[in-house]
């Protein structure tokens, strides 16, 4: 069984300040972890992914996340928030099939809505 817990349902930051969105996971397997973002009226877009390679993962738009097995965490960070970052962010875990190189069904967290103020 696998699950993710997003510790904050809403986060508000000022433009230009750092962003931290927290995620803890639970998995019986070596997990694959993702962060997806959904802007209003848009589909879910992949920000970054961890699939057992480097523990510090860099994604699009300046976001990055660090896989910490000892803490079962995969927090999302960005040094400086921009107004366009306002969206809902989802931490996602999946079982990764080493043999086939594909992920199985995704298990989502409840989402964190990021608000960016001037």
Partner 1 sequence: EAGVTQFPSHSVIEKGQTVTLRCDPISGHDNLYWYRRVMGKEIKFLLHFVKESKQDESGMPNNRFLAERTGGTYSTLKVQPAELEDSGVYFCASSPDRALRTYEQYFGPGTRLTVT
Binding site for partner 1 (CB under 8 A): 32, 34, 36, 41-46, 49, 51, 90, 94, 96-97, 100-111
The residue whose two tokens read 């962060």 is 35
CB of 2 to partner 1, least distance (A): 11
Q: 3-state DSSP call for residue 27?
A: strand
Measured in Å, how far apart are the chain's first and last C-alpha atoms? 41
Please, how many CA atoms are within 13 Å of residue 31, restricted to the half-sphere of its CB?
Answer: 25
CB of 116 to partner 1, least distance (A): 22
CB of 8 to partner 1, least distance (A): 14
């Amino acid at each position: 069984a696998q699950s993710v817990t997003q510790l904050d349902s809403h986060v508000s930051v000022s433009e230009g300040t750092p962003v931290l969105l927290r995620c803890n996971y639970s998995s019986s397997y070596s997990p694959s972890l993702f962060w997806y973002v959904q802007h209003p009226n848009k589909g879910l877009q992949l920000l970054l992914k961890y699939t057992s390679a480097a523990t510090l993962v860099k994604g699009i738009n300046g976001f990055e996340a660090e896989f910490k097995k000892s803490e079962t965490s995969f927090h999302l960070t960005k040094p400086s928030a921009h107004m366009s970052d306002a969206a809902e962010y989802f931490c996602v875990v999946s079982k990764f099939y080493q043999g086939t190189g594909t992920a199985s069904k995704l298990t989502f967290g409840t989402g964190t809505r990021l608000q960016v103020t001037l």
